[in-house]
Amino acid sequence: QPQSLPAMLRTALLAACVASATAFVPAQGFAPMALKANRGAAMSSLKMQEGDFSPAVPFLKRPINLDGSYTGDVGFDPLGFSDVFDLRVLREAELKHGRFAMLAVLGFIVQEFYTFPFFPKMAPVDAHDYFVTQGGGSQIIFWISFVELFGVVALFETLQGKREPGDFAFDPLGLAKDEATLERYRLAEIKHSRLAMIAIGGFIHQYWVTKQTVFEQLGNFKSLS
């Protein structure tokens, strides 16, 4: 005799519950040792998978060319530049811009407290605009172009394997006395370079928005609202 619709629904629901419960029941011969073996294999697979991810951006795959051979390499390349350009060129550019950024951060801060007597006293961002109108911009371009000539020659030597990226053998104070100390300073330089590149951008945009210099805002914070 055909079952009513409610009875059929109850029967189907009961069958589904029984089937779900049996999924958690060990099969014949499914011993605890087998459970441990499967768990160990899963953990091993997870560790291998974790190793493929970037330490800097854990939810992204580690770029294949960023293998940790360079000091300070934490696998950060979300836009994939390392898949297109030579790593030696990228490291040379990173160090060069980082060194300029460290000088810029120092100059930005010092100018808040001291200005040469023959220069007008003004905020660093305003000083840039002022000296560009006074002809200072062309001088900056000239001297940067002059420095870039040496940079191009150095880059070709790097690509030929004659020097490490960014290495100009500049150590007048003799700080790098041994290989371990040199490696420590290399790591410190790349970390400070990255921080300085972010900082100088923050300094400039902060002044555009608040019209306050760095220490002025620290002493007298002005909200944007």
**Average pLDDT for residues 17-42, to the nearest whole number?**
44
Per-residue pLDDT tens digits for 140-170: 889 888 888 988 998 899 889 899 998 888 8
Share of the chain above pLDDT 90, in %: 28
DSSP code per residue over 2-61: PPPHHHHHHHHHHHHHHHHHHTTSPPTT--HHHHHHHHHHHHHHHHHHHHTB-SSSTTSB
Per-residue pLDDT tens digits for 33-55: 443 444 444 444 434 344 588 88
**Pairwise CA distance, residues 94 & 197, whole Å:** 10
Amino acid identity of residue 155, one-letter, is: L
pLDDT of residue 185: 92
Its pTM surpasses 0.95: no
- How far is Cα of residue 38 from the mean position of the Cα atoms in its chain? 37
**Average pLDDT for residues 23-27, to the nearest whole number?**
41
Mean pLDDT, rounded, of the chain: 79
Q: Is the pLDDT of residue 32 over 50?
A: no
- Roughly how many angstroms between the first and final C-alpha of the chain, as a whole number? 76
pLDDT of residue 16: 54
**Pairwise CA distance, residues 116 & 121, whole Å:** 8
Per-residue pLDDT tens digits for 161-201: 899 998 888 888 888 888 888 899 999 999 999 999 999 99
**Pairwise CA distance, residues 27 & 39, whole Å:** 16
Q: Which residue has the higher pLDDT, 129 or 46?
A: 129
Give the other-Cβ count within 10 Å of 77's Cβ.
21
pLDDT of residue 52: 81
pLDDT of residue 89: 92
**Average pLDDT for residues 98-116, to the nearest whole number?**
91
Query: Which helix (DSSP H) or strand (DSSP E) does residue 202 occupy?
Result: helix 179-210
Q: State the burial class of residue 44 (Cβ atoms within 10 Å of its Cβ: 0-12, 13-18, 19+).
A: exposed
pLDDT of residue 128: 82
Q: Is the pLDDT of residue 91 over 90?
A: yes
What the block records as the tokens of 218 is 């620290």
